[in-house]
Structures are given as C-alpha cells and as structure tokens.
Amino acid sequence: MTPTPIPVYFVLLPDSLILDWAGPAEALRIANRCLVASGQPEAFAPHFIGPVAEAVSSVGATISCIQPLPAALPQPAWLVLLGQPGTTINPCSPGVPELLHWLRGHRLQTGQLELLTVCAGAVLAAHAGLLDGRRATTHHHHLEELQGVAPRCEVVSNRVFVLDGAVSSSAGVTTGIDLFLHHIARVCGPAIAAQVAQSMVVALRRGPGDPELSPFLRHRNHLHAALHRVQDAISGAPQNDWTLSDMADVAHTSPRHLSRVFAAHTGITPLQYLRDIRLAVAEAALIAGRNVTQSAALAGFASDTQLRRAWRQQGKRGTPSTAGQ
C-alpha cells in the first residue's frame, strides 16, 4: 500500500515573511522530486491556508487562492507558523485574532499533529498558548518578547532550531530550511535530505570554512543576541571611538565576559572585528576615489599610519595607496 503524503499546512497571514515559507516549501518540493526519481512515492503535500483568501506578503507580492483555515486537520500533519516584519508581533493585526482562536482548538501530539515555527512564528504560537511547558527558540530580536508572552516556555537562545516533542522552532528565515531538512531526513532518510541540501546549495552553508563575501557578513554565523547587538553597532558606526568597555555596554555585560563569549562564537576578539570592519570601510572609500587620509578618518582609524599598519596585519595585497588599482 502506497503511504499517504504528509499534509504540510503553511499558515499565511498578511505580511508573512516570504522567505520563511518559500524556502521550506521548496525543500519539500525538491524532496518529493528526489523521491520520485528514486522510484519512491512523494512524502509531502504542501497546503497554504490562512484567515484571508488573499494576502500581501512582506515584499509586496500578493498571494492569492489561500485556502481557508480548516475546521479539522488530518493526522498526521505538520502545521507551520511564520514570522512577520517588525520588532514585535501584534496579536491584533489583521487575521491574527482569527488565527489564534483557530490554533487554540488544536491539540499537538508527536507523530500526529506537529507544529513547526519559523522566525517569529514562535511568538504567534505563544499567543495561542501552544508553547507552555515547551522549549522553543525564535529570531534573536524576538527572544525577550517570546519569553514575555510565554513565561512558562523555556526560551532557548543561540540555536538554529530547537526540537521539543510535537513542537519544532527555528530562529529565522534561512534557519527554517535547516529545520525542514532535519524533518525531511527524519521522514525520508538522510540520503534524500542530503540531495535536497545539495540541490539548494545549503549542504555546507554552515561550515566554518565557507568563503565569505564581505567582512560585514563574516563572523555572523551565530545566534547570540548580545553579540549581534555589538556587531550591528560597530558596523553601523565604525568611525566611533570604540573601546572594549563601550562594546560591553552595548552587550549589557562586562568587558571580560564579552571578550570570552565573542571569541567563543566568532573566533576573533571584539577589537579584531572592529579592525576588520574599519578596513572594509576604508578599502571601499579608497576604491571610490578617496585618498588615504580621508579613508582612514572615514573608517575610524586615528591616522594614515594606523590604517597602513592594520592593512599589513590583515595581509591585504599592496598598500592603501594602491587599493583598487
């Protein structure tokens, strides 16, 4: 007897983050394709449901033909909640009250009805009371919000995804793909999951040796909220007179603790990160036509000499004067 594909219900709301569902949905599609190519039946049947039939997504694209929220869900099935733009999730925004009422009528059970959340979708689940007594994670910008909405939930930071029985939660956007790859492996086996990852070019996405295109993206492959605050602050104003104490103030910790945690999660010190960002800013300014003195000042170096010294220490080719040539 041919097994029935698992129904996967993506709940779409107005402003749903399109990457939160498009990436995981593509992973399921590719998994089905790989299964068929190997002579096996499809394993997943995606559905797109919501409280409204048509919704404008986070990037302005209109998603139509959204199926209504069903009175009952088949079992087994996966229910997927997604994030929305903004610093917080408004439980009174369009469609959300109807969704929360609907969610409260469902009972989660491993192997029957399982909940998967991507990004701030965990906050929606918390508003519906689905995370009480659970372990869960969300995007680092929403960790405190999640804890406030669900005080009985053990909120876990610095995780790509967290598994707790019938609830699986991921930190945000692309980590949703990691979560779905895990579940694809669980259902279809690791070989199919590896084929999906290879097809999506994410098989080595989290490897420590991956090439990186920009220092602004380098050393950001972690989910530590305090470190992201420090890195965001430095990247936004590298010309400031940063000290280790200033950075520690941003992280709300001591300079010694910041240094230890920063090195553990990024492999470099906070001051080395500052130097790398300043070098990137200076190099961009040099390529744009600024002279060495102007570029050094723009990037936050105290002098031409300090810029040249950092340039040599980084092992960059040539000198600041020859950048872009």
What backbone phi and psi angles, to 5 degrees, belong to 216?
-70, -20
pLDDT tens digits, residue range 247-278?
A: 999 999 999 999 999 999 999 999 999 999 89
Q: What is the CATH number of domain 225-322?
A: 1.10.10.60
Task: Note the pLDDT of residue 206.
Answer: 39
Residue 213's pLDDT is: 42
Residues whose CB is less than 8 angstroms from the CB of residue 262 and which lie 6 or more positions away in sequence, other chains included: 227, 230, 268, 269, 270, 273
Mean pLDDT for the stretch of residues 199-213: 46
Mean pLDDT score, 60-77? 94
Q: If you average pLDDT over residues 196-211, what whole number do you get?
A: 53
Model confidence at 5: pLDDT above 60: yes
pLDDT of 26 over the 80 cut: yes
- Residue at token pair 């405190």: 144
Q: Tell me, what's the pLDDT at 77?
A: 97
Tens digit of each residue's pLDDT (9 = 90 or more) over 119-146 = 999 999 999 999 999 999 999 899 999 9
Confidence of residue 214 (pLDDT cuts 50, 70, 90): low
The pLDDT value recorded for residue 202 is 65
Give pLDDT, residue 216. Answer: 67
* Domain definitions of the chain by residue range: 6-199, 225-322
What's the pLDDT at 203?
44
Other Cβ atoms less than 10 A from the Cβ of 217: the count is 10
Retrieve residue 118's tokens.
């991507």
To the nearest whole number, what is the mean pLDDT of the chain?
89
**Do 170 and 155 touch, CB atoms closer than 8 A?**
no
What span, in angstroms and rounded, lies between the C-alpha atoms of 76 and 43? 12
More confident: 275 or 317: 275
- The sign of the CA dihedral 100, 105, 108, 113 is negative
Q: Which residue has the higher pLDDT, 315 or 76?
A: 76
Pick from 159-168, 192-201, 292-301: least confident: 192-201
- What does CATH list as the number for 6-199? 3.40.50.880
Band (233; pLDDT cuts 50, 70, 90): confident
Q: Quick one: pLDDT at residue 79?
A: 98
Mean pLDDT for 14-35 is: 94
Q: Provide the percentage of residues in the chain whose pLDDT is more than 70.
A: 94
Q: Do domains 6-199 and 225-322 have the same CATH topology?
A: no
Weakest mean pLDDT among 14-28, 228-242, 263-277: 228-242
Residue 101 pLDDT exceeds 90: yes
d(CA 210, CA 231): 20
Q: What is the mean pLDDT of residues 230-250?
A: 91
